[in-house]
Each structure stands twice: as structure tokens, then as C-alpha cells.
Chains A and B, each alone.
Chain A
Amino acid sequence: MTTKAHVDRAMLLHLYREMRRIRVFEERCVELYQAEKIRGFLHLYDGQEAVAVGIMQALAARDAVVATYREHGQAIARGIGTDVLMAEMFGRLEGCCRGRGGSMHIFDRATRFYGGNAIVGGGLPLAIGIALADRELERDAVTACFFGEGAVDEGEFHESVNLAVLWQLPVLFVCENNLYSMGTPLEMAEAETDIHRKAACYRLPSESVDGMSPLAVLSAATRAVEHIRATGGPYFLECRTYRFRAHSMFDAQGYRTREEVALWRRRDPIPRLANWLLDNALGKAGELEAIETAIVAEMDAAVAFAERGSLEPIDALERFVTLDEVPA
């Protein structure tokens, strides 16, 4: 197989725009958190954007996505509107989950986005089942399952990876290794820190990829998805990345140095791609500025949408605890 991701100027600009949309959305979230418009836990994706954007670009509309509690990036890159996302952060009726899920539990039927799972490792068994259903119902779909390297500590990771290989299910496992499971460095949690080797020992085709490069991720994801569609079996990508900000909004970051964060910030995928576009004369004058202006307008509109959103009536509190029918 020699197929590569088709990367042209339009694609590069698209990757840039998508990463930037995620970054700006989350910058707004921080401001709104400080203004107490958004509450609860807020886990920012800042630094890891290349992973979600690169992977999503390799998926088709019929594919499925399972993500974690740090899933704003996946949700935006998958195509969920920033307006309904922001309304969800505000706990509004107009939010994608009518305010019941919040930041950690984004679901969207239209894009086959199956959460937003805030139990580390909890999404992996679900991804197995979704992939099994897709295969049995002959949907020719891939389930992309995102999780952090902390999930590798969990039994559910090992059980699920084994099942995916045993049953040859179309799952793309995407491990976003940002080196810290909350405040615990990888080497304090794992005897084998080379994560893709764990997948390999389950006979799962696996590779490690530079998670700070959207092109590297896109290229690997394209290869992986192609392998999955051709064989029906799973594939494992370890994306080596870094989160620039705290684990959530309540984190003094005593577990890592400022110097380490600064070093990784130099690899920030967004300015790197911007500079590369400009250096190679691929970004026309004013083009990136125009993208920025459009993103600012989009996020202004999203915040305004959330601000004028309504509250679910208390009478509807218990609605959806059980359903009267399976949604069509």
C-alpha cells in the first residue's frame, strides 16, 4: 500500500484553521471559566491539537469517534458546532447534550461522536462494541478511540486491545501520550514506557508518531485507516504530545518544571505550521489573518449563542434517565 494523505495548500490551511479554532475556543473557555460562566472541571487540549485534527482528517462521515473528558479538540475537529459546544459548557438547553453532559461529556449523534468519557479507560470497551456493531451491520466504518497514556494503566485497555485483535475489529486506537496522567509522570506509572510496544505484544499493528505535527499524525492516521479498511482489523497509534496547560483548572503543576513546559511550547504545532506556510510562500499575504478574523467571529457568535441560551426547565430534570424508544 502506497497511498498517502493528499496534502496540498488547501489541506495545510485547513489543518491550520482547525487547530486554531480549537485553541481559540479553549482560550474563550478559560476566560469564561474565570468569569464563572463555565464551571465544573475544564480539561484543556492546549498543545495536543495536532492529534485530533490529524486523525479526524483521515476519517469519513460514516466512522465513529470515542473520546475522553479532554475532548473539546476532537469534538470541534469532528465537526460539532462550536455554538452548541459552547452552549453545553454553559449548561444550556441549546447545548449538544441539553446541558446534562458539560465539558467532559460531549455526545453528538449526527457525527457519531460517542462521548466524552470521564472514566479513564472507560471508552475503550465501548469502542469495541461500536466497532462490532458496525461490522455486523456491514457499515464499513472505523471507530477511532482516543485515550491518554494513563488509560494504559487500566485493565480495560488490556482487555479491549486483546478483544479487538482477537475478533479483528475495525478500531483505530489513538493513544495521546502527553507524559502525565494528571500529575503522575509516565515513568512513575509504567514499567514499560514505550507504549506502542504494549500494543505490539497483543499482535496489534502499532506505531509511534510525532503528535506535535499535524502532518505526521495525518499521514500515520491515513495509513492506519487504510489498513483497517483493507483488513477489517485494528491499528494502534501512539501520538507523542504535550499539554501546555494544567490538567484541569485546579492544578498547581508541581510535578513538572517551567523549563520543560517552555521547551515543549517551542514545538507548538500551530505557530510552527503558520511559520512554515509563510516561509514556503504557501500562505498568501493576509490569508492567515483572514482565517483568524473568521475564527474570532465564529467564537464570538458561539459565546453569544450560549449567552442567550435558555435553561432546561426543572420539570424535565428526570427526562432521558430512561428512554421511551431507541432514537431513530
Chain B
Amino acid sequence: MCEHLPREMHKNGKRIVETEVKMATQKLVPLTGDQAVAEAMRQIEPDVVAAYPITPQTEIVMNFSQFVADGKVQTELIPVESEHSAMSACVGSAAAGARTMTATSANGLALMWEIVYIAASTRLPIVMPVVNRALSGPINIHCDHSDTMGARDSGWLQVFSESAQEAYENTIVAIRIAEHKKILLPCMVCQDGFITSHAVEGIELFPDDKVKKFIGEYTIEHSLLDMDNPVTYGPIDLQDFYFEHKRQQAEAMKGALTIIPEVLAEFNKTFNRNHDLLEEYKLSDADIAIVATSSTAGTVKATIDELRKQGMKVGLLKPRFFRPFPKERFVKSLSNIKAIAVLDRSDSFSAQGGPWFSEIKAALYESKKQPLITNYIFGLGGRDIFPENIKKVYSDLEAIKKAGKVKSLVNYLGVRD
């Protein structure tokens, strides 16, 4: 039985037995997170992939290159000389009307930075798996979210994956979301470096034809290769129009909050899944809750199961999408919780906590109940997080609940003081 199965089988704290039976009969393939994403890319079969190696993403591009070499996909590969050129070539390719993908991590994403913004503002639906890794310096190859959190204002959609299975599924659904005519924004599909990208899970791969049918053909409205109707991409946009175009970009991101659940509903129906903008785990009757994303959500779930046996009313809110930020859903899910801890796997150096915390706290300003909330920054540079760390957070939350106030707003978990 694969690791993700028990997690998939809970919805609002209830076990879904039908799903369990159905899924247990599916054939599972042992794959790492990187391999699973490469499989998704094989099934998507983009027209063009431009990519550059960087740990821990490299295995995605390696595996995919082998699919190209073996003739399993028709994709044209551009083995660029840097990530800056990877994203630059992606912009050219996507403007030409090709379904285009790349993948990266950490410093690679940082080197792309300039063009990451241009891709979004040009409204090119490039899908980019990002294997989260600590951004230098100091140099470190292990997991944290400083890379993609730094790109949070770039105008890309961002979805975070708890497991290799989710990374696989998010990659597929991201194509439909990014290419939706009312969205047309690029999308980062994030998974945790090494923890997810290099750990082997039993993966349920969907049939190739079913994936192809779900994503459909990509057609661009204004192709750079339409010689009969020539278009100019990337013009200079000055005081008289730049602002309107940025506003349109903002509206597209806002509109994505309504459209993403529609696409996810279709995905869920097609593949018998239960994806949403965010996922609640034993939250409906919880007094205290953790907000955590990516692989850490799995550790929290396991800890919750243990603490629930001891009678503690603990829960988890696992956001999947950071961009767009599902503000109203946070308010709805968290308003009745007495004390909340937001776990951030990156520091924004704002002196007021990590990015998830800042935005969730701001969202809860609109809640009439204004629950007590605190922040834990953890796991930087791949520092492991254990159930003991999670238990410590829940015990802190118990104390906050009893005291009725937060003593320390921003805390660092699992670090030497």
C-alpha cells in the first residue's frame, strides 16, 4: 500500500471506504517525486521543453530527456545553457503557440527571475515543476520554500504538493488551469526537494489516453507563427497602457480563484480524486489547528492521528494553492478554530514572520472571530521536522488557547538558539 493512500482517504476527518477499495485495486508503480513528474510530462507530451539541470530537479529533465531519446514523446527538447535561457526560450516557444514546459529549483529559479515576470505578464501558460530547495546563500541543496516564495509576486500560479502522487496529479491539472482562456497564466507546480523528489512512493499513474483527453489540444489565440496575421509580442508599454495591462493580470489571478475549482471538479470526476484549493484534515471539530503545506502536511496528519487517540481536538488545514491566495476559504476554514499555528518553510525577513503567516493573518482580519494565531518558521535548508516538533506546536497552541493570548508571534522550530 502506498504512503499517500491513507491520506487520500480522509475527507473532513471521515474515512472514505469506497475510495480505499477502488484505489487499492489500482496498479501502483514505485517512483520518486521527480520520476512521477517526468511521467506526467510524458503523458502531457508538451510540444517544447527547454530545461537546464539543477539539484534536486535534475531527475525530472533527465528522465524526460530519456523519453525523448527513446521516441516515447514527440517533444522538441532545448538543452539550454542556463535557466535564464530556459525561461527565455519558453517565452519564445509559448508565444509561437507551442505547449511549453520547463522545470527548476532554487538558484535556477532565481536566475530565471527576470523572465519569470515577463512570462506571466505576456500571459503565456507555461507549466513549470519546481522542486523546492533552499535559495543560496549559504549554498544548500535541500528543501525549503525560499525559492518559490520569493517568486510569489511574479504573477505565476503556485500549487504545492504533499506527495509524489500529488505532484504528478498537480502537474497534469496545472496544464488545464494555466491554459484556461480566462486565466492564461503560467503555473509553478511545487514539491519538496529530496523529501518528495527523491523518495520512492507507490504511484498510481493514470492511463495515457485519459490524461491526453483531459488536457486536450492547446491552441493559442495570437500565435507568433501566424504569418498571415502578424503580431508584435513584448512591445514597450508606457505610462498610458502599462497600468491597464497589470490590472488585467491582477484580474486574471483573481478570476482564477473561481475557475480553478471548476477545473479541479472536472479533474476529480475524471480521475476519482478530491482536489480543492485547500484540504481540511480533522478540522471541522478541532479546537486548535496547524496550517502546513507540502510534505510537512503528511507529518502533521500522522501526528494528529496519534494526538486524537489521546483525546486532543487537533486539526490541519493544508493549502494547495498559494497563488491565487484563497482568502475566503481560509476565513471559512479557520474562523472557528481557537488557536492556529502557521508553519512556514521559509523566512521572509520581514521581522513579522513567513509568507504564509503574513497572508493568512491578513485574511483573518476579515473574520469576525479573529482567532489567536502564531507562526513557526521551520525546516530551513532541509532541517528535518519530526512528529515531536509538531506535538510541541500543538502543546504551545493548547497553552495559547488556555491563556487566551499569543505570547510569541514568530517562533523558530527545530533550530539551535
Q: Do A and B come from one complex?
A: no
Q: B-contacting residues of A (Cβ < 8 Å)?
A: none
